[in-house]
Amino acid sequence: MTTTTDGEYRATGYAWYVLSILFVVYILNFIDRQVISILAEDIKRDLNLRDEDLGFLYGTAFGVFYALFGIPLGRLADSWHRVRLISVGLALWSTMTALSGLSKTGGQLAAARIGVGVGEATASPSAYSLISDYFPKKLRGTALSIYSAGIYVGAGISLFIGGLIVQSWNAAYPNGGPFGLAGWQAAFLAVGLPGIVISLWIATLREPVRGLSEGLAQPPHPAPFKAFFEELLTIVPPFTVIGAARLGTRTLLWNLVAAAITAAAIAVLVTLGEPLPQWLAVGIGCYAVFSWASALRHRDPPTFALIVGTPAFLCTVVAYGLNAFLSYAAGFWAAPYAMRELGVSPAEAGLILGGMGAVSGFLGVTVGGILGDKLRQRNAGGRLIMVTLGAVVPVPFLAIGFTTDTPLILYACLFLAQFTASWGLGNSAATTQDLVLPRMRGAATATYFIGTTLLGLALGPYLAGRVSSLTGSLSTGMLSLLVTVPITLGAAIAAFRLVPAAEASREDRARAAGETDFT
């Protein structure tokens, strides 16, 4: 980061180099996360699973723990060496992806997916914070959109590579290959192992001065891991009870009440016939987030005030979280729908869906980021216009795509749906970063991803699969999710109206909550 003659910060060539490497990290992130989609039909057959089980493995098992560990890891990103954190996390999630290929049961695969979620939770809080320090505010939406495009490139590559490997392996070894591995197992190993090597490259990046891009340089945290473990104590059950007790009787009482309500809700759902693993995981996630927010209110009132206590922030999270509810479900079920309902081969589905997904997502998130930055120049909440459009424009394309019996129409509709849905990603992320102080960016990113995981990833793919199992129709499963669109639209409009005042009052509200260090 350097300054111009008039004292403004500008991005250097090295900043763009860092962004390109972080882009590669995010590609690997989504290859490992998404490859299960193209492998789903084989996994379902070999492990004797149902559609809701596949939705649980892809979304809930991964997403809940990704969200929960994202909070303490986000705090660690706010206080420790962010480059090292990403490097360690990449090595972890790549190892767990490879171990997915050794799974013999659904339970083993679920455990590996949990490990992938924990490892990947290191990436975006650190990357968002790094990008915000390497790029000035006027370029932040564009930079974060470019980084976020790794979602679509990685997801596309995962489908292409996964489909090619599983089809070729199964053709060459119809009764199992070396070590008895099936094609889907070989695919997990093939995409997981390279990340371990690339993690060493990530470790060579320079760590920038935190907050310098806004003239609010922050000193190093004196005890980052102490803060991390204290944060962990507030969000990992049952240690949350100990953490609550340390904050006083009142906090402990409310924590126990929340745990009791959560347990009762899970019991009711199981009594009604819902599967225990899904709602136990979601219940743990909801209870843990409540516990963390309660503790944050006591331990760091300024951060609580600018994140949980800011309606503009929460509306932004809900708006994009419900956008992700549809996007994650469509992204996961597109390949199984093409293969199961339309007779498309794994290699063809991976090549076409993966290639088009990478192009449409990359173009959509980049175009959306550029337009959002321009709209923000006219209104501080301008980026929310793109979030709003990203919530409603894809709806007819999804409705047509998941009811057609023609592969070409499915491909075209999915291309347009993903292109338009991705307009909201970089803009919602940049909005949340603008609403907090530099030292809070990692925690803000973790909170943002709670919405996209607990609302989107942990519920969208599962509910589509659950309705599919109950009705016998994957089309019905996907179309049933469209009932959430009015809520998404309402949250996006509310955020648009609230963001300007919230951003303008950021420092004042932080100071009123007790913040003293603005240097």
**Bridge partner residues of 220 (DSSP):** none
Burial of 509 (0-12, 13-18, 19+ CB in 10 A): middle
Measured CA to CA in angstroms, residue 81 lies from 148, 208, 219, 220, 226 at distances of 21, 9, 12, 9, 14
Q: What average pLDDT does range 377-389 have in this prediction?
A: 92
Q: What average pLDDT does range 107-120 have in this prediction?
A: 96
Cα Rg, the chain, nearest whole Å: 22
DSSP string for 202-268: HTTSPPPPTTGGGT---PPPS-HHHHHHHHHHTTSTTHHHHHHHTT-HHHHHHHHHHHHHHHHHHHH
Give the span between the Cα atoms of 192 and 200, in whole angstroms: 15
DSSP letter (8 states) at residue 9: E
Highest mean pLDDT among 34-38, 76-80, 365-369: 34-38
Range from 82-86, 226-230, 370-374 carrying the lowest mean pLDDT? 226-230
224-247 burial, b if ≥16 CB within 10 A, otherwise e?
A: beebbebbbbbbbeeebeebbeeb
Task: Work out the mean pLDDT of the chain and round it to a whole number.
Answer: 90
Give the span between the Cα atoms of 121 and 128, in whole angstroms: 12
Note the pLDDT of residue 253.
95
Q: What average pLDDT does range 110-139 have in this prediction?
A: 90
Burial of 474 (0-12, 13-18, 19+ CB in 10 A): buried
Give the max Cα distance, the chain: 69
Helix (H) or strand (E) holding 162: helix 150-172
Give the span between the Cα atoms of 87 and 85, in whole angstroms: 5
Note the pLDDT of residue 212.
65
Note the pLDDT of residue 220.
67
Q: Is 4 helix (H, G, I), strand (E, B) or coil?
A: coil
Give the span between the Cα atoms of 338 and 343, in whole angstroms: 6
pLDDT tens sequence across 234-276: 888 888 998 899 989 999 999 999 999 999 999 999 999 999 9
pLDDT tens sequence across 448-474: 878 888 899 999 999 999 999 999 999
Note the pLDDT of residue 195.
94
Confidence of residue 431 (pLDDT cuts 50, 70, 90): very high
